[in-house]
């Protein structure tokens, strides 16, 4: 499945390069949602909440009422997770709070599973220079996605794996990294970060990995209608299998 992304900062839809420099501001959330109407799921990331710089809660709640949204950014308490579930979030993407200094934060993850259910949870394994990064990708841990992914399986239904080194750069991604992660788990995987060609998308889909797209569609490098056709073809083939 191909999943368009809506990243929010200061009430606007934006795209960042490597999580740091704002590269562009897109149309309003309602306009972008109409453009993404052909896609079964949308990924919504509250960048302000991820960076501890406020939230875009009214927009996030509205988006969750309009479409099936997987929501991330600043989900660091069970209370916050429950609020987003009540707002209509389809799935919750948890990054920073899933990790402690020495490894996964099992105490928090256990309480989260008890509160919302394992099927609701997607753990973010966002990585730069081979290490998992947290707090809006500002802080690097000593953890590697390949080493912790299996430990995290009991606490989630899937993983969002962002190759931050190439995020927003339109230079392609690291397919070998995603292939290694695919070999380590049978959980749902979603790839993000630098994906900018149909060839990359088809390779990832052939591995059974979902593809989350941002910059490549906001800049027009990839055509939304063509991507929607790929999604429909994929859905038809899976239904026939």
Choosing from 7, 46, 48, 110, the catalytic residue is 7
126 is catalytic: yes
Place of tokens 């230079």: 171
Per DSSP, the three-state class of 177 is helix
Whole-angstrom CA distances from 225 to 30, 44, 92 are 18, 20, 27
Q: Which of 219, 157, 179 is nearest to 5 (CA)?
A: 219
- Compute the distance between CA of residue 200 and CA of residue 196 in angstroms, rounded to an integer: 7
Residue 7: count other Cβ atoms within 10 Å of its Cβ: 25
Which residues lie below 8 Å from residue 167, measured CB to CB, with a gap of 6+? Answer: 16, 17, 18, 19, 192, 193, 194, 215
7 is catalytic: yes
List the structure tokens of 206.
């052939």
Choosing from 126, 165, 223, 229, the catalytic residue is 126
So which residues are the catalytic ones? Answer: 7, 126
């Amino acid at each position: 499945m191909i999943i368009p992304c809506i990243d929010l900062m200061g009430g606007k839809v934006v795209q960042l390069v490597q999580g740091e420099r704002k590269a562009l501001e897109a149309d309003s959330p309602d306009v972008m949602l109409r453009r993404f109407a052909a896609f079964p799921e949308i990924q919504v990331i509250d960048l302000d909440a991820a960076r501890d710089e406020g939230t875009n809660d009214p927009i996030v709640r509205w988006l969750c009422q309009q479409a099936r949204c997987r929501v991330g950014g600043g989900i660091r308490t069970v209370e916050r997770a429950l609020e987003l579930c009540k707002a209509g979030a389809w799935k919750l993407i948890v990054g920073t709070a899933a990790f402690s200094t020495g490894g996964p934060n099992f105490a928090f993850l256990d309480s989260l599973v008890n509160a919302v259910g394992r099927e609701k949870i997607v753990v973010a394994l966002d990585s730069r220079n081979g290490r998992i990064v947290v707090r809006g990708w500002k802080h690097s841990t000593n953890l590697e996605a390949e080493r912790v992914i299996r430990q995290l399986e009991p606490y989630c239904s899937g993983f969002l794996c962002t190759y931050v080194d190439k995020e927003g750069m339109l230079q392609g991604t690291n397919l070998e990294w995603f292939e290694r992660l695919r070999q380590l788990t049978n959980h749902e995987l979603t790839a993000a970060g630098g994906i900018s060609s149909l060839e990359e998308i088809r390779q990832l889909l052939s591995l059974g990995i979902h593809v989350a797209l941002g910059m490549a569609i906001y800049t027009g490098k990839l055509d939304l209608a063509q991507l929607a056709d790929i999604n429909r073809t994929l859905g038809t083939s899976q239904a026939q299998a």
